[in-house]
């Protein structure tokens, strides 16, 4: 995966944009198209205390609402830490939005003030599809992209 090229494309496409939904839509599209491992790529937005709702995404239907108390996305939002799940069946409390998902990575999305805006979720139909390199590279691109959001 060429994360430097992905970062450059996203920076170019999002330059000057501050609207969170526009940034999410562009980010999800670019990431989804960048790697065959990615079957579902999208955002869940913080809409109230302890509640996520689906945002822009690419792929099949996602769950509409996820409480912070449930699933991999909820764990990421609750702890503020990236979730790298090699086998979703082994993750206690996993929410099966798609029966074909085998592994998942979920990253917190924050603005420059550190406010949690949501989480970025990538699902794969392959087991153990993601690495720590994915976590680090995508986290850096997310931080750069969403720094300007309120």
Pick 3-8+26-129+141-146's CATH classification: 3.40.640.10, 3.30.450.40, 3.90.45.10, 3.30.1480.10.
Answer: 3.30.450.40
- Nearest partner of 74 among 29, 104, 44, 32, judged by Cα: 44
The domain locations on the chain are 3-8+26-129+141-146
Question: What are the tens digits of pLDDT across the range 15-73?
Answer: 999 999 999 999 999 999 999 999 999 999 999 999 999 999 999 988 899 999 999 99
Interatomic CA distance for residues 47 and 79, integer angstroms: 17
pTM: 0.94
Contact between residue 39 and residue 48 where contact means Cβ atoms under 8 Å apart: no
Torsions phi, psi of 5, nearest 5?
-65, -40
- Whether the predicted pLDDT of 90 surpasses 90: no
Is residue 94 very low, low, confident or very high in pLDDT (cuts 50, 70, 90)? low
Q: Are 62 and 71 in contact (CB under 8 A)?
A: no
Strand 83-85 with 51-58, pairing: unpaired
Q: What is the pLDDT of residues 96-148, one digit of tens each?
A: 676 778 899 999 999 999 999 999 999 999 999 999 999 999 999 999 999 98
């Amino acid at each position: 995966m060429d994360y430097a090229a992905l970062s450059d494309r996203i920076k170019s496409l999002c330059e000057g944009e501050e609207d969170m939904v526009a940034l999410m839509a562009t980010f999800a599209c670019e990431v989804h198209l960048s790697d065959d491992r990615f079957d579902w790529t999208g955002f869940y937005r913080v809409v109230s205390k302890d509640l996520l709702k689906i945002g822009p995404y690419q792929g099949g239907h996602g769950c509409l609402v996820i409480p912070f108390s449930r699933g991999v996305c909820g764990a990421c939002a609750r702890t503020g830490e990236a979730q790298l799940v090699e086998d979703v069946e082994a993750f206690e409390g996993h929410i099966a939005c798609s029966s074909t998902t085998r592994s998942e990575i979920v990253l917190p999305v924050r603005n420059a003030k550190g406010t949690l805006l949501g989480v970025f979720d990538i699902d794969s139909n392959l087991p153990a599809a993601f690495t720590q390199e994915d976590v680090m590279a995508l986290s850096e691109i997310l931080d750069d992209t969403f720094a300007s959001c309120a």
